[in-house]
Amino acid sequence: MRALIVDPDALGSLRLGTAAEPVPAPHQLVVEVRHISLNRGEVAFAGQLPPGTVHGYDAAGVVTHPAADGSGPVPGTGVAAFGTGAWAERMAVDTTAVAEVPAQVDLADAAALPMAGVTALRTLRSRSILGRRVLITGAAGGVGRYAVQLAALGGAHVIASVGSAARAAGLATLGADEVVIGLDGVDRPVDLILDNVGGPQLADAWKLLAPGGGVQNIGWASGEPAVFEPYSLFSIGPAKTMSTFGDVHEVGPDLATLLGFVAAGKLSPEVDWRGSWERFAEAGQALLDRRIGGKAVLDVLA
């Protein structure tokens, strides 16, 4: 089958080549992939994987072979899927990591949801956000745009931080109460920070955190170290916390929640770039250059 595979000698360490057909475990089904979505980190760090690896995690398509253990959707079901080896014509994926796509939702939109959508949903569940001030850095990216919408749905006062005025487009419409460049204008404490940037901005954002508040460290798009002043992590009163996010266990139910929001018109998939997977290099470079606001989705062609 055709697949996007890791090749250290290729531009961006990825090329469209061939790979062996997936061999599913008893708890896995096989999906004929129709659409895939790219995440910036996957593109940036592709070269760190072994040569020949079928890359990617996000896909949507149609079930062709059911799981041998009897779990999961039946053949012919349209699903969104999260798992290794997604950027291929077919993928084997755990039945606990798929969700049926409602009739009202396009499969291409469904492909945009898994990694970024589940990350936003699960990090926002880290604490109550109703009536709280939530700061989302890197808000113009895939995770950021979903987080803005979901935080607004959860009743938070949403502060969307972006790197430039051009990246602010559309965030107020998605539910941001404030849109700021960097941290300029954030002059009151915040209760929760979803940080996609890292670096010096993370250290500065920590100073804005209210007692008892928390930082969820999702990404590190700045590529720069974060240096905290001596004793700046110490706080009198309720503890401030900083946590990392890496929970991708059994994402199927959360995928179903996100798809339900899309079907009900409560969540925009935010697909800003779409084209054939033959154009994967173009899409990947646009992500690295931050020329995409939201998600890039590729159509898998036979």
**pLDDT tens for each residue of 148-204:** 999 999 999 999 999 999 999 999 999 999 999 999 999 999 999 999 999 999 999
Same-domain status, 63 and 125: no
The whole-number pLDDT of residue 245 equals 79
Do residues 192 and 135 touch, judged by C-beta distance below 8 A?
yes
pLDDT in tens, 137-154: 999 999 999 999 999 999
**154 is a domain residue:** yes
The CATH number that applies at residue 146 is: 3.40.50.720
Q: Cα–chain-centroid distance for residue 35?
A: 16
What's the one-letter identity of residue 264? A
Show the domain range for 145.
117-244
Residue 26 in contact with residue 67, Cβ under 8 Å?
yes
Would 25 be classed as within a structural domain? yes
35 and 72 co-located in one domain: yes
Residue where a domain stops, chosen among 207, 229, 244? 244
Count: domains in the chain: 2
3-class secondary structure, 175: coil
Structure tokens belonging to residue 67: 């799981």
- Look at residue 258 and tell me if it is in a domain: no
- Determine the pLDDT at residue 235: 85
Residue type present at position 162: V
If residue 34 lies in a helix (H) or strand (E), which one and from where to where? strand 28-38
pLDDT in tens, 65-98: 999 999 999 999 999 999 999 999 999 999 999 9
Asked whether residue 52 is domain-assigned, the answer is: yes
Judge contact between 110 and 41, C-beta under 8 A.
no
237: left (phi over 0), alpha (psi -120 to 50) or beta: left
Q: What percent of the chain has pLDDT over 70?
A: 100
Residue 236 domain-assigned? yes
pLDDT-derived band at 247, boundaries 50, 70, 90: confident
The answer to whether residues 78 and 48 belong to one domain is yes
Shared domain for 145 and 31, answered yes or no, is no
Q: Within a domain: residue 263?
A: no
pTM exceeding the 0.75 threshold for the entire prediction: yes
Write the CATH number for 277: 3.90.180.10
